[in-house]
Structure 1
Amino acid sequence: MLKQRVITAVVLLALLLPALFYPSPEPFCALTLLLIVGAGWEWGRLNGCAEGQARVAGALLGGVLALIWWHFGLDADSRWLWPWAAGLWLLLAPWLLYRGVAGWPQVPRALRLGLGWVLIGVAWWAMAQARVAGVAMLLSILLLVWVADIAAYFGGKAFGRRKLAPAISPGKSWEGAYSGAVGVLLLAVAWLALAPADGPAHLYTALWRWGPVLAPVLLVLLVAMSVVGDLVESLVKRSAGAKDSSRLLPGHGGVLDRVDALLPVLPLAMWVVTA
C-alpha cells in the first residue's frame, strides 16, 4: 500500500507541478479537468448510477466545463457565482450532516446527482480562476486545506478526546478541528509576515482587507468548511457502503477522496478574494 501511495504521488506531482508553474494556466487547468472527469464518474457510482451511466456522466461534466472554458475563457468575470456557491454549501452542508448517513438516500436521486456534479464543476472553475489570478493565489488556498488537514491529524492524535461526528467519520475529533484552525492561523500570520508587500496576490492579503475582526473569522470559516467537505463526502460514501470513492488513484482511493475538503473551500475563498 505504501509503495502504491508513493508511486501515485510521484506520478501526480511529476505531472501537476510543471503544469502549475507553467507561465500560462492552460496546462494545469487541462490536467485538473481530466481529474474532474474522474470525480464526476465517482459521484455517479456513489449515487447509484450503473458503470456505463457514471462514465458518460463524468465525460459530460468534463465536456460542459471544457465548453464553458472555450466560450467564456478562464478569466471570465465570475464574481456573481461565488456567493451563490458559498451560500449553497453553507446552507445545505449543515442540514445534510444533521440528517446523517440515513438521511442521504432520502434526498431525491436526481437532486443528489445534479447538485453534486454542479458543485464539483464549480469547484474546478474556482480553482481555474485562482490559477489565473496567480500561482501564489492558488497555492495559498491549497495550503490552507493541506495545513488544516495535517494539523488536525496530529492534533487529533495528540489531544483528541471528543468525537466530532462519530457516525460519519469516527477518526475526527473536536480537538483535531481546533488544531487545524490554529495551524492555519499560524500559516496566515507567517505568509503575511514573510511575503513582500508588492509580491503576487494571495488569499491572506485578500482576507486582511476585510479588517482585523472579520479576517480571522473568515479564515476559521474556511477551515471549518474544509472539515465540512470531508464529512459530506464521508457521509455519501458510508451511505453507499464504500470505503473509498474509487480506486482511480492507487493507494490514495479516488479523486473525490483527495479533493473533498477543497470542494466548498475553493468557491468560498474566491468569494473572499473577489468581493
Structure 2
Amino acid sequence: MSAGMVMEEAVGRAVPLVAGALGAGGIAVAALPSRLRMRSELRKRWRTWALTAPVFLGALFCGGAGAFVLAAALGVVAVSEYVRMAGLRRADHAVLVVASVVLPGLAWQAPGALDLRAAGLLLLVVALSPLLAGDVDSGFTRATRTVFGLLWVPLSLTGLVVLGDTAVAVGLAVALGDVGAWCGGTALGRRGPLARPLSPLSPNKTWAGVVGAAVVTALVLLGVGAFSVALWAAVLFGCVLGDLLESMVKRESGVKDAGRWLPGFGGLLDRVDSLLPALLLAMVVTV
C-alpha cells in the first residue's frame, strides 16, 4: 500500500472522531449557563478548534506535500512569535524562518540529508550572525536562544512529515488530550493530592489534569488504531511538558500569551505548545 493511501486511511479513521468531538463540544459550550465566567472563552476555543481541525486533517490528507506546507506554515508563524518573546534580532529571525521551511522540505524530499552533518551545519549557521556582528554583549545568549528555538519549533514540526500517518494520531491525541487535561483538572483538581500544581511555572496545571490527559490520549490513540505504550507516553509527556516549557519562556519574557490573533488561545505557540514536544518524542520512539 502506498504512503498516500496509508495517510488517507489514517485521516479517514480520524474524521469520525473529530466530528464527534466537535459535535459534543459544540452542544456542551452552547448549553453553558451565561453566568459561567469562562463561557465566552470556551466558545471562542471551540470555534478555533472547528476551523483548525479541518485544515490540519486536510493538509495531512494530501500526503507529504500537504504535511510539508502545514509544517512550514506553522513554523514560520510560530518562530515569529518566539523571536518576539526571546528578544532576538532580525538576522536570528531569518535563520529560524529559513529552517522552518528547509527542515520539513528536506524531510519530504531528501530525508537522508537530516543527519549529524546537517546538525553541525545548523549549529554553525545559528552562531554565524552574532559572530559576524561581533556581538560581545549578547552574542552567546542570542545563539543559545536561537538553537533552542530551532529545536523547539522547526525540528519538532518536521515530525509532521517524518511520522507519516502517525502524525494524524499524534495531532488528534494532543488536541483532545488538552481538553482532557482541562476536564480532569476541573473535575478532580479542587482538593486532595491530585490538586497539587505540577510546577510553579504554571500553578493552574495540576496532577488531576495529567490524569485527564492520560485517559483521553489513550482513548484517542485506541480509537484511531495507533495505540502503543511508547507512543502514548510520548503524547502524554508532550501534553504535560509542552505547556510548562512555553510557560517558562513566557514568564521570563514577561508576557501572558505568545500572540493575540488566535481567538480563545492567544498566539499559535499557545495552541501548539503541547504538539511540538509530542511530535519530537514521537519521532524518538517510532522512527
Query: TM (normalized to structure 1)?
Result: 0.68
Give runs of aligned pairs for residues 67-82 of structure 1, distance below 5 A: 67-70=102-105, 73-74=108-109, 76-77=111-112
Q: Which of 140, 156, 170 is the equivalent residue of 2:169?
A: 140
Question: What do you get for the CA RMSD once the two structures are aligned?
Answer: 3.1
Q: Which of 259, 262, 267 is the equivalent residue of 1:249?
A: 262
Give runs of aligned pairs for residues 253-272 of structure 1, distance below 5 A: 253-272=266-285
Aligned length: 221
Query: Which residue in the other structure is 1:61 paired with?
Result: 96
Give the conservation status (yes or no) of the 8 Å contact 2:71–2:104.
no
In the alignment, structure 1 residue 156 sits paired with structure 2 residue 185? yes
Write the distance in 2 (CA, Å) between the matches of 1:176 and 1:242: 23
Write the distance in 2 (CA, Å) between the matches of 1:241 and 1:8: 25
**Residue-by-residue CA offset, 1:176-222 (whole Å, 9 max, x unaligned):** 11121122233344444xxxxxxxxxx42xx3xxxxxxx2x662353
Q: How far apart are residue 260 of structure 1 and its match?
A: 0.8
Larger RCO (CA under 8 A, 6+ residues apart)? 1
Query: Which residue in the other structure is 1:30 paired with?
Result: 69
More deviation in 251-260 or 165-174? 165-174
Give the conservation status (yes or no) of the 8 Å contact 2:96–2:146.
no
Write the distance in 2 (CA, Å) between the matches of 1:4 and 1:153: 15
Q: Runs of 4 or more off by more than 6 Å in structure 1?
A: 78-81
Query: Any gaps of 5 or more consecutive residues in structure 1?
Result: 85-106, 193-202, 208-214
Query: TM (normalized to structure 2)?
Result: 0.65
Q: How far apart are residue 38 of structure 1 and its match?
A: 1.4
Of the two, which has the highest radius of gyration?
A: 2
Q: Does the C-alpha gap of structure 1 residues 191 and 123 become closer, same or farther in structure 2, counting only changes over 3 Å?
A: same
3-state DSSP of counterpart to 1:246: coil
Q: Does the C-alpha gap of structure 1 residues 68 and 109 become closer, same or farther in structure 2, counting only changes over 3 Å?
A: closer
Q: How far apart are residue 9 of structure 1 and its match?
A: 4.9
Give the conservation status (yes or no) of the 8 Å contact 1:5–1:251.
yes
Q: How far apart are residue 111 of structure 1 and its match?
A: 1.2
Q: Which of 80, 84, 88 is the equivalent residue of 1:41?
A: 80
Query: Any gaps of 5 or more consecutive residues in structure 2?
Result: 1-39, 120-139
Q: How far apart are residue 153 of structure 1 and its match?
A: 0.8
Query: Which residue in the other structure is 1:237 paired with?
Result: 250
Give the conservation status (yes or no) of the 8 Å contact 1:74–1:129.
no
Query: Which residue in the other structure is 1:20 paired with?
Result: 60
Amino acid in structure 2 at the alignment position of 1:120: V
Write the distance in 1 (CA, Å) between the matches of 2:205 and 2:155: 27
Write the distance in 2 (CA, Å) between the matches of 1:28 and 1:79: 17
Q: Does the C-alpha gap of structure 1 residues 67 and 154 become closer, same or farther in structure 2, counting only changes over 3 Å?
A: closer
Write the distance in 2 (CA, Å) between the matches of 1:9 and 1:264: 20
Q: Percent same amino acid at aligned positions?
A: 31
Amino acid in structure 1 at the alignment position of 2:183: F
Give the conservation status (yes or no) of the 8 Å contact 1:41–1:57.
no
